Amino acid sequence: MTQLHFHPAHPPLAIRSVEARIIGHDSQWLRARWKIMGAGRLVVPPFAGRGRAEGLWQTTCFELFLQPVKAAAYTEINLSPSERWNVYDFVGRREGMAERAMPREPDCTLRLGTDMAIFDAAIPVAGLPAAPWRCGFTAVIEEQGGCKSYWSLVHGSDVPDFHDPACFVATIAAPTAP
């Protein structure tokens, strides 16, 4: 697991850590996992059924940014415990945003315990740009009382900005054969 860091201007209340990693990648699916420790006060958006939605980042949401190596363009994947999702393409940093067509919906599952939460997502590879990628794992975590913390591999400015290319520090190789 790769440790994410909260933005210092938005510390969590009870969340102790957020980790993320790729748990599988083949020609069909990219599978990612986020693990939250100290999740007793985690706000979980209510189940809404699968489907695209806007504004998922306004509460607990998990995001993955994929940028083909040596490209300015990148893809943002937003995944909610409500099972809502969206995928956007950008031609440059916060420029040219457009919904990305997906051949099928991502599959998301949240398992919530008393202190730990695990969020798993399976994203259809056929809907993603060609790998290898520079990658940014991020999360917006809302806790009871409205406290929001913003988690990323790196924070490059005084305000949370997951679109900052400095956040795309992990790498993901091309998929393996099934």
pTM for the whole thing? 0.95
Fold classification of 2-172 is Immunoglobulin-like (2.60.40)
> Regarding predicted confidence, which is higher, 100 or 174?
100
Residue with tokens 């006060």: 41
* Digit-coded pLDDT (tens) for 1-37: 799 999 999 999 999 999 999 999 999 999 999 999 9
> Regarding predicted confidence, which is higher, 75 or 167?
75
Residue 91 has pLDDT above 80, yes or no: yes
| Domain definitions of the chain by residue range | 2-172
